[in-house]
């Protein structure tokens, strides 16, 4: 196998590896580093012994992500305020309703739900349920028995299925909320907005200690709608607000001049009501938001 062929094989796999690493880590910067580390290790592999390039690269990347998660856990302990995954401006390139299971796996709500799993539960669940790997390959990747992997996936699936975080609303439901949100900002009225919020709705703001943010999670339709209408209605008046797709869902970004200072994306209940409002204000997480990432819902791949 020539060096050129080795590189071509890796580059063919890179978008899928990036999709896996981003879901594992919730950070595109860390995901890109993990994928690059995978490439470096791939270069040192004796290729004559490789049975499946795809399986080997998946194994290397997954285990590199598990290493990153150990460090990430220590950093999260010291993180200021609520933590939200880094938002991506996405272009699914197709109707996400054609493959809901995979389309849902990129939403901010789902990525945040993954934080409640152990690293190996997260890896096993993603490999099996999102990337469709057979249990034998998952077991080999994680150096565990198939029975143990099945237990990991089963535990993870119970948590995922017990939550409403994998609900993908219709385009009309998403649009209705964003219109009500903008109306509340402009008029200060909460009536229309509150009617689109689930009783369990939460609003969290991620400033990371680097931007003004709420240090606690707001809960309930009254508190959330009042915060949007009264506080954000005052704070968002000077900038430009633009609707874009964030992690496969319609969302909003707020500009100050040419700089994005806030990104908002949503989580929906099975009834089509908003049950989570995510405000990302940490400038480190917003720095790449204007870079459009393409998402293939069938394979889970991500690429610019």
Q: What is the pLDDT of residues 76-107, one digit of tens each?
A: 888 999 999 999 999 855 555 555 556 688 99
Two tokens, residue 48? 């004559």
| 3-state SS class at 293 | strand
Output the average pLDDT for the chain.
Answer: 91
CA dihedral 212→213→214→216, nearest 10 degrees, is -130
97: in domain: yes
Q: With contact defined as beta carbons under 8 Å apart, do 77 and 159 qualify?
A: no
Two tokens, residue 289? 């938001």
Residue 111: which residues within 8 A CB-CB, separation 6 or more? 23, 26, 85, 247
Q: What is the CATH number of the domain that holds 179?
A: 3.10.450.50
* pLDDT tens-digit readout, 33-81: 999 999 999 999 988 888 999 999 999 999 999 999 988 877 788 899 9
Do 201 and 278 have their domain in common? Answer: yes
Q: In which domain, by residue range, is 205 found?
A: 171-286
Do 48 and 156 have their domain in common? Answer: yes
Residue 31: which residues within 8 A CB-CB, separation 6 or more? 18, 21, 22, 24, 25, 65
Do 158 and 181 have their domain in common? Answer: no
Do 54 and 200 have their domain in common? Answer: no
Do 214 and 76 have their domain in common? Answer: no
166 has pLDDT over 60: no
* pTM for the full predicted model: 0.94
- Residue 167: the pLDDT is 67
Report the distance separating Cα 220 and Cα 199, nearest Å: 6
Count of domains forming the chain: 2
Q: Of 134, 166, 198, which residue constitutes the final position of a domain?
A: 166
Do 68 and 38 have their domain in common? Answer: yes
CB-CB neighbours of 298 under 10 Å: 12
State mean pLDDT over 178-186.
95
Give the residue from 304, 282, 286 showing the smallest Cα distance to 83: 282
């Amino acid at each position: 196998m020539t060096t050129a062929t080795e590189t071509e094989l890796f580059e063919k796999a890179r978008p899928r590896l990036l999709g896996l690493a981003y879901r594992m880590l919730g950070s595109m910067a860390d995901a890109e580093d993990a994928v690059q580390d995978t490439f470096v290790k791939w270069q040192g592999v004796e290729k004559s012994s490789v049975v499946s390039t795809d399986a080997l690269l998946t194994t290397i990347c997954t285990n590199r992500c598990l290493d990153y998660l150990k460090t990430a856990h220590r950093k999260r302990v010291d993180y200021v305020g609520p933590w939200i995954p880094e938002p991506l401006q996405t272009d699914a390139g197709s109707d996400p309703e054609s493959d809901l299971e995979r389309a849902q796996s990129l939403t901010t709500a789902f990525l945040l739900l993954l934080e409640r799993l152990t690293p190996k539960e997260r890896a096993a669940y993603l490999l099996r349920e999102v990337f469709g790997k057979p249990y034998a390959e998952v077991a080999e990747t994680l150096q565990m028995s198939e029975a143990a992997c099945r237990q990991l996936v089963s535990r993870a699936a119970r948590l995922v299925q017990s939550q409403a975080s994998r609900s993908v609303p219709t385009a009309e439901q998403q649009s209705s909320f964003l219109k009500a949100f903008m109306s509340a900002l402009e008029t200060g009225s909460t009536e229309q907005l509150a009617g689109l919020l689930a009783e369990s709705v939460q609003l969290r703001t991620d400033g990371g200690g680097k931007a003004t943010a709420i240090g606690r999670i707001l809960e309930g339709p009254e508190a959330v709608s009042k915060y949007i209408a009264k506080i954000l209605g005052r704070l968002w008046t000077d900038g430009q607000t633009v609707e874009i797709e964030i992690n496969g869902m319609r969302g909003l970004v707020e500009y100050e001049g040419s700089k994005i200072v806030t990104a908002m994306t949503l989580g929906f209940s099975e009834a089509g009501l908003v049950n989570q409002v995510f405000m990302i204000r940490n400038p480190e997480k917003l720095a790449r938001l204007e870079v459009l990432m393409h998402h293939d819902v069938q394979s889970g791949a991500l690429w610019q």
